[in-house]
Amino acid sequence: MKGFEKGNVISVPDLSGKLIKILADFLPKKAYYRMAGGFMKKIL
């Protein structure tokens, strides 16, 4: 709700999510998608 009140469109609540968002801003999309796919395989 704090992000909504500030007018943010996207709000990332936890530290790991924030780190992933920072990586997404700096990594090439292909590398980021490969990394995200690896995370999803571990989760599922």
1-44 pLDDT, tens digit per residue, is: 676 777 767 666 677 777 777 888 888 988 888 887 887 787 77
Scanning the structure block, which residue is given the tokens 């936890």? Answer: 14
pLDDT at 21: 78
Give the distance between the most distant pair of CA atoms in the chain.
Answer: 35
Q: Looking at the whole model, is its pTM more than 0.85?
A: no
d(CA 20, CA 1): 21
pLDDT at 11: 66
